[in-house]
Structure 1
């Protein structure tokens, strides 16, 4: 008789819920903090840098994982890295995170870009799909979502939650859009201009202590962002801060806080490589203490690059690249590898362009197609026609 028993019966060890117990839908009602989402690789929580193209570059996680920092190096006298810092801080304030700045006053938040409001009349808005264009398999799931007791009202609308906002550099962030707070990191010997170059108390140690105090006294589950602009620049930091023991101990302390608060803290650091080149041992050690390192190499500004050529208009390239981007290191977070090496980011040439409405766009660099030399042909054809007209027999 045992041969006639069902072999495809699923054995379930789940017991029936007791009377008055909470439904499973309410148990799964836990929502993520605004501005966070799980990584598609290993499910760790990530947050946006405020630049969508930079998020897609970070080891395939679609954002900066919590508990990690990113070092952005820049050559020359441009300030593209400063724009990334503004996007990073503005994204945190809009999402309700606590932004800690180093060397910037509280009034710096009034210099941040405003959130771009989408125009419903724009052509880029996608129209709603017709019923016949929907997937045929979705009809049964559409009915399940509206069924009573299905928990559809308790679920979080993922499409409504914006992970990375778009910002407009021509406008300033309104006070009503700031859900978070901007808190400058103070110290006994603040490393801003006007301070003594050498003080008995290390300014970097005091800053780390102040950051640790704010993290300990904050609300559990609050997300924090640390903004470190132009590290070791003489315009923001005293000469004593550029000593290797000072800056390396600061990065060690920041790295320790990132690992201790691995579910709450991220940091973005910029470094001018024109003053501190990558060939120096100090910068190499700084790169080893950071989880990811990218470098911006701006191109020299030319009047011809400001206006797109005819080939750019023909192939839909309205913005010419303003510089190159090099990926020196990206962290590896899982045993299968990662770090962006499998996607070819280390092998291909990347370029970036900055616009007021679209922000900073990072994309693979490709040489534009050669334009057809039409003007010499017209000139040559005109001369031959004149020569033919001038012939008399």
Structure 2
């Protein structure tokens, strides 16, 4: 039996590379880096920065893009009230008020002069423009209107009333959240087998999963139980999302977990991103990194409908936060220029008895 593919879903586009249905993350630079957007049916794992401010900002972009695109949203958190996150979402605007500037090194011209035989060769930037822009532009200095929030399908989960235990998880909150997600998918007819009158996408945003608020209530349990709960939850969430028109974005305070347990969580996810902020570190005083706020690492990319995952290569990326926008750029470092006094002294001619002006004679 041939599967019926919906003709048009608001806020989505099909990838020209693998035919995968994509949704925007809300950040145009991140969509470009991922090959057009987030594939539907995947789980995105974000390793939080130490303070968790930048990862929370990416989660806000993800949620507000769903509201503007008329997608259903389920937001879960035990650290903060999910309704407060919704109230802090940025407002959508028509045009970019802070266009990105191309960083240039001193003394470098606008167009690099290269051999004529390489001037007309295609570049990697052109290969990334295979998917049309499906996202919107937002202003961080303004908040979304209450009317847009009230007219949207938003489901909140706090997990404060969970008292019964679970055989699968040491903390029953994980099991309760999975049941809430499954019920939302079932009631909203987001499963692939469902045939609703108007097809849409469910966005699942989970803030700071595995934080100290998610620890088991029983003191006799070892910390390894919480690690197993986290890995098992992501694995089950991936299986649940894969069978529906849904995409999940989960932020995790990975600095609280061991590297081995973190690798298991990355293996269970589809896309893994790590944020390393400069605040509070030695890199904060580095003049070469003054334009940025931290490093952006793309640890894993989804390989759905393809034999190998798309990867940008060995290039390094950094993120920067301005007053009105958050963006991810290719890291450009200025050339290593030595001290002018040392360079000038090496080239100054020397005069005097038994002093040669030539230090080395090369043939």
Is TM-score (shorter-chain normalized) higher than 0.5? Answer: yes
Shift of 1:77: 2.0
1-structure distance, mates of 2:160, 2:291 = 46
Deviations 1:64-100 (A, max 9, x none): 0100011111342241101000000111111111111
Compare CA radii of gyration and give the structure with the larger one: 1
Shift of 1:287: 1.1
Deviations 1:257-289 (A, max 9, x none): 11211xx10000111122224x2x322211111
Name which structure has the greater RCO, CA cutoff 8 Å, separation 6+: 2
Q: 3-state DSSP class of the match of 2:33?
A: coil
Paired position in structure 2 for 1:276: 257
Q: 3-state DSSP class of the match of 2:177?
A: helix
Deviations 1:120-146 (A, max 9, x none): 9x999xxxxxxxxxxxxxxxxxxxxxx
Change (3 A) 1:258 1:80: same
Paired position in structure 1 for 2:271: 292
Change (3 A) 1:162 1:363: closer
Q: Is residue 70–residue 292 contact of structure 1 (8 Å, CA) maintained in 2?
A: yes
2-structure distance, mates of 1:325, 1:89 = 20
2-structure distance, mates of 1:90, 1:327 = 22
Paired position in structure 2 for 1:250: 233
2-structure distance, mates of 1:297, 1:244 = 22
2-structure distance, mates of 1:173, 1:335 = 38
TM-score (norm 1): 0.64
1-structure distance, mates of 2:139, 2:26 = 12
Paired position in structure 1 for 2:29: 53
Deviates more, 1:244-253 or 1:80-89: 244-253
Paired position in structure 2 for 1:218: 188
Q: Is residue 34–residue 95 contact of structure 1 (8 Å, CA) maintained in 2?
A: yes
State the 4+ residue runs in structure 1 displaced beyond 6 angstroms.
Answer: 302-306, 371-377
2-structure distance, mates of 1:74, 1:123 = 26
Q: Is residue 102–residue 184 contact of structure 1 (8 Å, CA) maintained in 2?
A: yes
Structure 2: give runs of 5+ residues left out of the alignment: 1-5, 101-131, 167-171, 190-195, 218-222, 344-363
Q: Is residue 305–residue 320 contact of structure 1 (8 Å, CA) maintained in 2?
A: no
Paired position in structure 2 for 1:35: 11
1-structure distance, mates of 2:17, 2:90 = 31
Paired position in structure 2 for 1:368: 334
Q: Which of residues 133, 136, 152 is equivalent to 1:180?
A: 152
How large is the Cα RMSD of the aligned pairs? Answer: 3.3
Change (3 A) 1:78 1:375: farther
